[in-house]
């Protein structure tokens, strides 16, 4: 069900690529910066969705409960 073998390495590579993106230096109207900001908003929405999905999966598996905690506390500690 949760076979992440081979998935995390590409995600880590993608994260490195995203971290290397810098704001445009020559954008007198701000149009390019606004377009980039819109894309970053979509990336954040996707990340928020995946975090919620994974948290739900952990909750369904009762991971935190088995450790004597709650999913909320587990996520805060992460």
Residues of the chain with pLDDT under 70: 1-7
Tell me whether residue 72 is in a domain.
Answer: yes
Among left, alpha and beta (phi > 0; psi -120 to 50; other), residue 62 is left
- Here the tokens at position 3 are 């076979």
- If one counts the domains in the chain, the total is 1
**Domain assignment of residue 60, yes or no:** yes
CA 53, chain centre distance (Å): 11
Q: What length is written for the chain?
A: 78
On whether the pTM is more than 0.75, the answer is no
- Whole-number pLDDT of residue 7: 64
Residue 19, in any domain of the structure: no
Domain extent for 56: 32-78
């Amino acid at each position: 069900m949760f076979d992440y073998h081979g998935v995390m390495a590409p995600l880590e590579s993608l994260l490195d690529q995203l971290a290397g993106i810098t704001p445009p230096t020559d954008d007198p109207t701000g149009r390019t910066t606004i377009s980039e900001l819109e894309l970053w908003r979509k990336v954040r929405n996707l990340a928020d969705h995946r975090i919620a999905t994974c948290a739900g999966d952990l909750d369904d598996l009762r991971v935190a409960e088995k450790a004597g905690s709650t999913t909320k506390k587990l996520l805060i500690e992460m």
